[in-house]
Structure 1
């Protein structure tokens, strides 16, 4: 099992580096979900009977506040008009992961992509930063996030 905060981020930096953004979608409210690497077919079905979203080798969920930046501006964020979301999400597809890092005293997440695009979490609500990383490459999914100001991870249920 991996140890401390830096070890978890190093795990995801190594696992994700070079993977491409394969799917971006909006969850409940302003939640942002991004899938990296090869996609697996949806395993869940929506209440209306349609298939859910596919999952990638590595996944990212930012539950509340986030923004997507280019080299000189914020392109879109969780508070942007909905009309900006779809074209901005499309702009991320097929970009390669350059780096996975944290910033801030309470660790927020920064994913740097090719073509100088960046995805950043920045929670403004009470509680913890609201991001989670998923590594689905092995037999047991690894889930990593920030709880009580500390990056922690654990294997989830067996895949």
Structure 2
């Protein structure tokens, strides 16, 4: 199945799913876990962040908005991050889209918030979505300006 068609099917399957967990990586990296969570261990055996059935990872350049304003973004003061991320926790997905010439992800919640990726550096957009349902994981990203569907063996960004 072509990557664009596979992404559209994934997007439709996310409607109504809960945003179950959100965690920060290094710097402004954000990871959004959707659906049922699975516990994870780090390489050293310590407890890691759980994985959702579907994960959205963004290395940098993102924002959260409501219908009136940008609530927070990757360049906002750290003090704003947690309250903004809490608007997404336990929210339900209303829509997931890949928009633009160089596809960026827009995740809209039933509660009226939107999470958007938007790379502001040269190269490719810096996001990936992993769908762990139904067998082997499928990794969506952008390669050469197009949606790309892989198996996770390529670098995520």
TM-score (norm 1): 0.90
Question: In the alignment, which residue of structure 2 is the partner of 1:3?
Answer: 2
From 97, 121, 124, give the equivalent of 2:93.
97
Cα offsets for 1:33-89 (capped at 9, x unmatched): 0001110001325x6x64110000111001110000111110011001111111111
Cα offsets for 1:10-50 (capped at 9, x unmatched): 122122111111001111110110001110001325x6x64
1:143 aligns with 2:142: no
1:8 deviates by 2.8
Unaligned runs of 5+ in 1: none
- Output aligned runs, 1:77-88, within 5 Å: 77-88=73-84
Q: Any idea what SS the aligned residue of 1:12 has? A: helix
TM-score (norm 2): 0.91
Q: Any idea what SS the aligned residue of 1:15 has? A: helix
User: Root-mean-square deviation (CA), in Å?
Assistant: 1.5
Given that 1:8 and 1:151 are in contact with CA atoms closer than 8 Å, whether structure 2 keeps it comes out as no
Greater displacement, 24-33 / 49-58: 49-58
Distance 1:139 1:44 in 2: 22
Q: How many residues align?
A: 153
1:154 deviates by 1.8
Cα offsets for 1:137-156 (capped at 9, x unmatched): 12211100111100011233
Unaligned runs of 5+ in 2: none
